[in-house]
Amino acid sequence: MRVRLDLLLDCPADAAWEALHSPAVFRAVSGPITTAESLEPGGFPDRWVDTEHRVRLRMLDVLPMGSQLIRLRDETLPDGTRIVHDEGGPLTGAMRIVSSWHHQMAISADDISSEARTRFRDTLEIGAGVLTPVAWLGFWVFWQLRARKIRQLAPGWGAQFGGRS
């Protein structure tokens, strides 16, 4: 099943792209419902680059949810749309009910408006056998909260990430 967001963000596309590669942004848009702790030596990097990273997840910073592998890969389509794929998935704990996982975050410039805005499409495809509808509902709620946090943080990304490429 699929959970999808289609948002128009108040920031330049390059800044949004850099934000998608920031472990700090990942943690910010996941909270406060979910907190993530790095399981890798040295902790979180400053920037995700086609990489694998293991994290321990907690709900409301109290309830252990298990560990997850974040496996990132970047793609650029012929039309200029840039996509971050996370093809990792749950490793241990309650999240292990999810047997298939593909998270895609697509960034493209919004050509309609004269301001620096970005089209952000955030899609999670999951499978959990007979529990897929239950898992989907939980992720759908989480994705709505995530959307609110992304919209809230995006206007600051131009200043925070505007100088990187």
DSSP string, 59-94: ETTTEEEEEEEEEEEEEE-TTS-EEEEE--EE-SSG
Q: What is the mean pLDDT of residues 85-113?
A: 91
- pLDDT of 63 over the 60 cut: yes
Q: What is the mean pLDDT of residues 29-49?
A: 93
Question: CA triplet 14, 18, 20: central angle to 5 degrees?
Answer: 120
Between residues 24 and 51, the one the model is more confident about: 24
Fold of the domain spanning 2-159: Alpha-D-Glucose-1,6-Bisphosphate; Chain A, domain 4 (3.30.530)
Predicted local distance difference test score (pLDDT) of residue 104: 97
- pLDDT of 57 over the 50 cut: yes
Q: What is the mean pLDDT of residues 75-101?
A: 94
Residue type, 120: F
* Domain regions of the chain by residue span: 2-159
- pLDDT of 61 over the 90 cut: no
For strand 52-59 and strand 63-76, is the pairing parallel, antiparallel, or unpaired?
antiparallel
The Cα–Cα gap between 121 and 143 comes to: 12
Q: What is the mean pLDDT of residues 25-39?
A: 93
- pLDDT of 163 over the 90 cut: no
Q: What's the chain's average pLDDT?
A: 92
Which whole-number Å values give the CA distances from 63 to 67, 152, 158, in the listed order?
Answer: 12, 26, 34
| pTM, rounded to two decimals | 0.90
- pLDDT of 165 over the 50 cut: no
Cis, bond preceding 133 (omega within 30 deg of 0): no
In tens, the pLDDT along 100-120 reads 999 999 999 876 665 688 999
